[in-house]
Chains A and B, each alone.
Chain A
Amino acid sequence: MSPTYRPPGGLPGLTSKTLFSAEELKHLYQGFKAQCPEGVAKEETFKEIYAQFFPPGVNSGQYAHHLFRCMDHNQKGEVNFEDFAAAMSTLSRGPLTERLRWVFVLYDQDGDGRISRAEFLTIAAAVFALIGPYAKPPITEQTVKLDLDNDGFISEDEFLSSCLNDDMIMASMMVLEESLAYI
């Protein structure tokens, strides 16, 4: 199987689609291209890259899988630079609601517009897997907090509103926003 080569769209197009400046896009692309010379990132590659940020022995593949799914809009099985840039743009420069929406999509694995308890726990388990086989995920509290109408599912609005009202979550989002100010 010959390696594919998918160059990204032109720089001006990307500049308009994302919230990045040309310089930032260039830098992002250089990094992207260095790891994925073909222009697209397959899930395996993505998982390898993500795994490098964590100590050995932890299973970062679960969370990476979810991230990949989020980024891969058309479910093509690969993430090209446009997807990558779009995700980065949303996460680092996008408005708060957009970001929260992104998180919602991350949690909502089957895309039905609601986060079930199982889905929530899956993500929680994936996140805890990042720290290694040491900690057990908390089961009930968070889910309960978010589930406003207690129907066992968290809809998008519930999610957004509960997050916006939660101080701690807001504080954390601010932190992340600050830290991503410079790419």
Chain B
Amino acid sequence: MSTERAALTSRGPRCVDELRKPMASLFLREEVPPWPTLCSKPCRCVNFKMPGGEEPQGAGNIPPHAMASVAAWLPFARAAAIGWVPIASNPLPAPPLPRSARRTDDVKLIINVSGRRFETWRNTLERYPDTLLGSNEREFFFDEDSHEYFFDRDPDIFRHILNYYRTGKLHYPKHECLTSYDEELAFFGIIPDVIGDCCYEDYRDRKRENAERLLDDRLSENGQGDGQGAGLPPLSSLRQRMWRAFENPHTSTAALVFYYVTGFFIAVSVMANVVETVPCGTLPHSTKPLSCGERYKIVFFCLDTACVMIFTAEYLLRLFAAPNRCKFVRSVMSIIDVVAILPYYIGLGITDNDDVSGAFVTLRVFRVFRIFKFSRHSQGLRILGYTLKSCASELGFLVFSLAMAIIIFATVMFYAEKNVDRTNFTSIPAAFWYTIVTMTTLGYGDMVPKTITGKIVGGVCSLSGVLVIALPVPVIVSNFSRIYHQNQRADKRKAQKKARLARIKMAKASSGAAFVSRKKAAEARMLAQEQAAAAAAAAGSGSGQNSPNLVALNNDDEDIFELQHHHLLRCLEKTTDREFVEMENPFGGVTSGQQHPQQTQVVTPHRAISQSPSVGSRASLMACCGRHCPPILSVSRRYQKSHIPTTGGDCDEDLNEVKIRLTDHHQQHQLRRAHGNKSGMPSSADSLTQAGSCVAGENASGANGGSGQQARSPVTSAVINIAASGAQQGRHWPQDLLIMHHEEAPGDGSSSDQAGGGDEDGLPPPPPYPNVVKISSL
């Protein structure tokens, strides 16, 4: 960072090396080390390197932010050099050629950022020549007409950026989004490292949070994707799958079952441990109470065995599945597992030997550690454990200070109460118990001071105990609360992620559809143009009718773009000898008999128009002209430049899928085309008008204008109001067009057929199309 700071050069009114040269010449002696070399650019640089190459730090390297105003003091510093003159052993060197009155060079520049005008001196901007505004890169944004620099960026953030030039300090506004701020900085060529110290901590913290969140999202997205099985790499071994199942019980049903089963058995085992100590009646021949464990020895033994077997199996499975076995063995959870099951095995090994049974009993105590196995099941427990771990220093402080206080007070109490008759305070360690009980304000009363000194000390002890304990506790509590809330936020993000992913998916879907629809619109327009041109050429007098259509076509800027894009796709098609085809959407094969109200002649039934809330959703794509048009027809139409009216033509598209087909199936299309022809012209017009109604941004008027023209391909009608969202997404293609897989015999079903009259169900299924490649827009 310091090197980057050092790398920022700035231009001052005069070069500082002018100041230094006199100095250097004053003292020409060997002891003087080579003067720090100056930058070669004349009058531009105040940076210099120390001999030896280290970058200078500290006051001498004028930090860029100070350069601005310090530069104004440079003349003074130069003037002060007059004091060196009497001492000088050499004459001062000549000054550099004076530049013409610098200040009159300075002009004010107007920077227009999204309508808000900023004015500043040119010199201010050129303080940092490594940035966009300071270099001639800004000329790219110069607007000749208004003589200002126009940037279509956020004016609020630009304010901070301009302040950086003015004051040399870059501040980070807390209310701005970090990513947008970063983007603006990147655009203007400013590195975030120059953020001033006042704001740097905040910036860094937020950046880290953001990065963690993104990482988190990405990880869980990947994890989720994998877990859902769809993207599961087929090479995932049994081990990997098992490990994933163990770590994320929600990934598969088996894992979930396993999770609950182990939880159940942990609970059972703990309960058994507890219950077996409950007195359960007495021995037949004595009054000694019998615990349940001794009475139902076999039952408890079986229960214990079962639990331990389950735990052992679980442990071995985890060990097997663990990617890094050594690390797993050393982890806390695995140690707990081992400690939980070892007593049983050791108990098996030990016989009913009196010596060892004492140890055996001790071992049984360790069985209670099984309760810690619950921490895999409970997030709260994990948080608690993590909190304690992270508060280790506070806990340590608490323990240490308590220990100190205990020792002090116990000592004093002991010596105070030593001489009392039959005192409880028999030794200092014995007094420890009293001190602890008093400091924690428990006050059992089993040990009570009797002397006055003792009572005074006891009072002080209890008062100080409250303080000592109360001090570290809030720190621990706040740590716990922070971690807990972080977890909550993570969970909330995960919950919202589903909704978010769904939204993203819908957006992608719509963009995929928009792509296809735009393409078809482009085709339509091109055909229309050709037709119009042909018609105009053929019948010169009748061109009056046609020209409005042409005009209507050319008026829209989008058309040019679309046409060109379409041309590009055509080139691609030609190159690969394939075609872009839409696949019908097997949307349940719905062909309801509903007719679009606008259509007067119904040739084929239309699909139901479904409602959808969001823009560009799938349903709206279906909205217009819901007929599954045979994509085939559109292709054939395109190729033969003939215009087949179809009802609602290709307006449906499958949202996500576009098929590419080889071109040698035209004859089948011609078949359909023949069928299609029967539907008659008007339907096309109607379908066009109907389609036109759903079109938002696309210019379907051109298409609709050709009512008299058979040429108008109903492809235009396919334009769906995705255009609104499509335009909003900008003229970039969905990057996620992928070729999903090679499909044989798509079996498009009857919907691919279009026949005049009747419903699509009655149509014969199309012949299979080999070499169809599906493109999915996801």
Contacts and interface: CB of A to CB of B under 8 A. Distances in A.
Interface of A: 23, 27-28, 30-32, 34-35, 48-58, 63, 66-67, 84, 87-88, 91-92, 99, 102-103, 106-107, 123-124, 127-128, 130-132, 134-138, 142, 146, 159, 163, 168-169, 171-173, 175-176, 178-183
B83 interface: yes
A35 B73 contact: yes
B88 A169 contact: yes
A53 B87 contact: no
15 contacts: A32-B73, A51-B59, A52-B59, A52-B66, A52-B70, A53-B16, A55-B61, A92-B75, A106-B83, A123-B83, A136-B31, A137-B87, A173-B85, A179-B14, A180-B78
Interface stretch (B93-101, B219-227, B429-437, B542-550): B93-101
A176 B81 contact: yes
Given A57-B58, A124-B87, A179 B72 contact: no
B27 A30 contact: no
Contact of B91 (A127, A168, A178): A168
Given A52-B60, A135-B32, A182 B99 contact: yes
A28 B76 CA distance: 10
A125 B27 CA distance: 12
Nearest to B102: A182
Contacts of B23: 130-131
Contacts of B71: 31
B92 interface: yes
A48 B59 contact: yes
Contacts of A159: 86
Interface in B1-47: 14, 16, 18-19, 22-23, 26-27, 29, 31-33, 36
A50 B77 contact: yes
Interface of B: 14, 16, 18-19, 22-23, 26-27, 29, 31-33, 36, 48, 50, 56-62, 66, 68-96, 98-99, 101-103
Contact of B61 (A56, A102, A106): A56
A86 B343 CA distance: 93
A103 B69 contact: no
B733 to A, nearest CB: 51
A92 B57 CA distance: 31
A89 to B, nearest CB: 10
Nearest to A124: B87
A58 B18 CA distance: 18
Given A52-B59, A128-B27, 19 more contacts: A49-B70, A50-B73, A53-B16, A53-B60, A55-B36, A55-B48, A56-B60, A56-B61, A67-B80, A87-B76, A88-B76, A88-B79, A102-B82, A103-B83, A103-B86, A131-B26, A171-B91, A173-B82, A176-B79
Interface residues of chain A: helix, strand, loop or mixed (majority): helix
B72 A182 contact: no
A127 B83 contact: yes
Listed residue (B61, B76, B103) with the most chain A CB atoms within 10 angstroms of its CB: B76
B76 A84 contact: yes
B82 A103 contact: yes
Contacts of A146: 86
A58 B33 contact: no
A23 B83 contact: no
A35 B79 contact: no
> Closest 7 interchain pairs by CB?
A31-B72, A56-B58, A34-B69, A179-B95, A55-B60, A91-B79, A56-B60
B82 A127 contact: no
A36 to B, nearest CB: 9
B76 A176 contact: no
Contacts of A181: 98
B83 A63 contact: yes
B56 A175 contact: no
Given A56-B61, A67-B80, A123-B87, A88 B75 contact: yes
A139 to B, nearest CB: 11
Contacts of B26: 127, 131
A35 to B, nearest CB: 5
Listed residue (A84, A88, A179, A182) with the most chain B CB atoms within 10 angstroms of its CB: A179
B59 A163 contact: no
Contact of A178 (B29, B66, B84, B98): B98
Given A28-B72, A54-B60, A103-B83, A134 B31 contact: yes
A131 B32 contact: yes
B75 A178 contact: no
A160 B450 CA distance: 95
Contacts of A57: 58, 60
Contacts of B89: 138, 142
Contacts of A32: 72-73
Nearest to A55: B60
B351 to A, nearest CB: 80
B463 to A, nearest CB: 42
Given A23-B103, A142-B87, A49 B73 contact: yes
A66 B70 contact: no
B73 A127 contact: no
Given A31-B72, A55-B48, A168 B90 contact: yes
B103 A180 contact: no
B135 to A, nearest CB: 24
A35 B58 contact: no
A175 B72 contact: no
A116 to B, nearest CB: 14
Nearest to A47: B59
A136 B73 CA distance: 28
Contacts of A131: 23, 26-27, 32
B60 A58 contact: yes
A173 B90 CA distance: 12
B157 to A, nearest CB: 24
A116 B266 CA distance: 95
Contacts of A58: 60
Given A53-B16, A56-B56, A169 B73 contact: no
B547 to A, nearest CB: 65
A183 B103 CA distance: 9
Contacts of A179: 14, 18, 78, 95-96, 98
Contacts of B72: 27-28, 30-32, 34-35
A56 B57 contact: yes
A180 B95 CA distance: 9
Contacts of B83: 63, 66-67, 103, 106-107, 123, 127
B86 A27 contact: no
A172 B56 contact: no
Given A131-B27, A168-B88, A99 B82 contact: yes
Contacts of B80: 50, 63, 67, 91
B103 A27 contact: yes
Contacts of A180: 75, 78-79
A182 B73 contact: no
A32 B78 CA distance: 15
Contact of B62 (A35, A52, A178): A52
B575 to A, nearest CB: 63
A63 B77 CA distance: 11
Contacts of B33: 132, 134
A63 B23 CA distance: 13
Contacts of A88: 75-76, 79
Listed residue (A23, A53, A136) with the most chain B CB atoms within 10 angstroms of its CB: A53
Contacts of A48: 59
B92 A34 contact: no
A34 B59 contact: no
Contacts of A136: 31
A106 B86 CA distance: 11
B51 to A, nearest CB: 11
Listed residue (A55, A88, A92, A169) with the most chain B CB atoms within 10 angstroms of its CB: A55
A56 B58 CA distance: 6
Given A31-B72, A52-B70, A55-B48, A175 B59 contact: no
Nearest to A50: B77
Nearest to B18: A179
A178 B86 contact: no
